[in-house]
Amino acid sequence: MKSYHTNRRSVRRFLLDTQHLLSQKENPAASETLQIIRQLECVQLDAVASVARNQHLVLAARVPGYQPEILNDLLAEGQLFEYWANAACTIPMEDYPKFEATRLRFQNQSKVELDKLGSVVDDVLDKLQIDGPLPSRAFKAENRVHGAWDNKSPKTKETSHALNQLLDAGIIRVVRRVGGERFFDLTERTIPKNLLKEAEKMDSIESNEALLEKYIRAYRVFDAGDPRLGWQKMSAAQRREAITKRVENGAIIPLEMDDVHRQYYILAEDLDALKKHEQFTPKGESSTEDVPIRFLPPLDNLLWRRERLADLFDFSYKWEVYTPKAKRKYGYYAMPILAGDCLVGRIDPGLDRENQHLNIRLLQLEHSVNMTPNLRRNLKEAIESFAAFHQAQTITIEQAMQDVRIF
């Protein structure tokens, strides 16, 4: 199929629109949240809690009035399941069959560890069968083994290691969360029967194709160089082949953009939406003068492909959580600041829950950003709204680069 020539800002605004980051809807939060997750395809989970966890920050940036209990309720109601997509993610329940090939792959990988654990696995499954759902603390174990995060000595309870292996294999699943605590139960009795049957009938080729389609809808603007393409193990040649096949059958369209050398693609069905953004994209340079401001967590869907951020937004981003403190440039939990259709800087927030205090360890704007009175006011309102979401009563800004004074 012939390439489509367009401009970078229209593609950027199209992408933000599909990510629900260009405008904000006024629908009630509970009904809106599930629909947003469906349209995003999944939301990444993470345990780091400098402020609220990643999954809640993703949704709070998109759903007015969102609160973490909404997501927890959707999980407990069986509207969502948790599994591996871009990483560990919360996913609409109806997509359960599409991950059959992934489950089979993890079952093969987990077999050795599960066999080593032997009777511990049997005891865990028996206890879940009788008493589930149960948290990890409900299982007692004297022995310690090497878990995923044990670099030297074995520190993980045998039962916790069994739970994690069974979780990866899809034999058990998380059925609810209370705060940061997960409750596990057997997959076979907590997934709707029709979805279990559909998954059983799906072969690996069909499953991987469905997963690739889901990936494409999640990313919307994508490139064959992404090693996560399709959320499966694909070589560079296989990625190129999968893209070429879809270009040839007209399912996706190559994009040509001035000053962007990487080859990007969109779904053919999205072309009309892109054209609308071409028609209505404001003329001239992007403005941050009077636009909504949102703070995006490090694992936000928009940030999954760092190269795309550089190409479309002229924004370089690295999550420095694993960078030694002395070498960090922007901070432990630096969150990009989205103003309209521009990424204009970063904040590094930390929450003192006991004292209900939000501390912005660093507030930084890009050198190209002009701090106007309107932008200052909008930043102040966004920080105050962020604090209110976290039930913080007080706010401090520890360090502001470029002499950015907000309070």
Reported as a single tens digit per residue, the pLDDT across 171-229 is 999 999 998 899 999 999 999 999 999 999 999 999 999 999 999 999 999 999 999 99
Q: Are 390 and 52 in contact (CB under 8 A)?
A: yes
Tell me the pLDDT tens digit for each residue of 155-184: 788 999 999 999 999 999 999 999 889 999
Tokens 């440039």 found at: 329
**Angstrom distance (rounded) from CA 11 to CA 265:** 10
So what's the pLDDT on residue 31? 77
This prediction has a pTM of 0.95
Identify the residue whose tokens are 């879940």: 128
Q: What is the pLDDT of residues 71-110, one digit of tens each?
A: 999 999 999 999 999 999 999 999 999 999 999 999 999 9
List CB contacts of 335: < 8 A, sequence separation 6 or more.
57, 295, 296, 297, 298, 346, 347, 348, 349
Based on the number of CB atoms within 10 Å of its own CB, is 292 exposed (0-12), middle (13-18) or buried (19 or more)? Answer: middle
CATH code of 97-197, in short, is 1.10.10
Q: Kindly state the tokens that stand for 322.
A: 């694993």
Distance CA(41)–CA(80), nearest Å, equals: 11
Mean pLDDT of 391-404: 89
Domain with CATH 1.10.10 in the chain: 97-197
Other Cβ atoms less than 10 A from the Cβ of 224: the count is 18
- In the three-class reduction of DSSP (H, G, I as helix; E, B as strand; rest coil), residue 257 is classed as strand
* CATH 3.40.630 location in the chain: 293-403
Residue 143 pLDDT > 90? no
Residue 46: its pLDDT value, please? 96
**Nearest-angstrom CA–CA distance, 40 and 19:** 6
- Given a contact cutoff of 8 angstroms between Cβ atoms, the answer to whether 204 and 104 are in contact is yes
Q: What is the pLDDT of residue 150?
A: 65
Per-residue pLDDT tens over the stretch 268-307? 999 999 999 999 876 655 656 668 899 999 999 999 999 9
Which CATH code of 3.40.630, 2.30.30, 3.30.40, 1.10.10 fits the domain covering 293-403? Answer: 3.40.630
CA distance 301 to 55: 10
- Token reading at 147: 């878990």
